[in-house]
Amino acid sequence: MQAIRAHAVFAIVLFVVAAVSAAAVVHAEEPSFTLTIKDHHFMPSELTVPAEQKVRLVIKNLDRTPEEFESHDLNREKIVPGGGEITLYIGPLKAGTYTFFGEFHEATAQGRMMVK
């Protein structure tokens, strides 16, 4: 009876380890891109990402004040705290141009994502 329990516990542990490893591999395969906010500008202001593929977008805010990353084209809206960063997963997207902006400093924080 104890041998059966030990095998059952081992099987459960093995299953959990395999599931966590598989999840890590899925996220590791997504291409990652970084946007930086500095002096209320996105850098780079034009970002090229692959079409038909989910991508990881890290947005780092080097300013002391918060900024809101917003894109009607991408259907995303998220506040990036001053000195902080956020991660968004976008796509898969069709080839084209998708605009984004910083809602708190819309006059200067402008950019576009070129999907090819």
Vertex 10: Cα angle to 4 and 29 (nearest 5): 150
Dist CA 73 CA 86 (whole Å): 19
Is the pTM higher than 0.95? The answer reads no
| Domain segments of the chain as ranges | 1-29, 31-115
> What are the tens digits of pLDDT across the range 57-74?
999 999 999 999 999 999
User: Residue 61: how many CB atoms within 10 A of its CB?
Assistant: 23
Q: How confident is the model at residue 56 (pLDDT cuts 50, 70, 90)?
A: very high
Mean residue pLDDT of the chain comes to 88
For domain 31-115, the CATH class is mainly beta
CA distances from 95 to 16, 44, 51, 53 (A): 38, 19, 5, 10
pLDDT, one tens digit per residue, over 88-111 is 999 999 999 999 999 999 999 999
Q: For position 101, what pLDDT does the model report? A: 98
Burial class (CB in 10 A: 0-12, 13-18, 19+), 36: middle
* Closest by Cα among 75, 31, 81, 76 to 53: 31
More confident residue, 3 or 105: 105
Label residue 80 exposed, middle or buried (CB < 10 Å: 0-12, 13-18, 19+).
buried
* CA pair distance 105, 93, nearest whole angstrom: 26
Quote the pLDDT of residue 48. Answer: 98
Greater confidence (31 vs 5) lies with 31
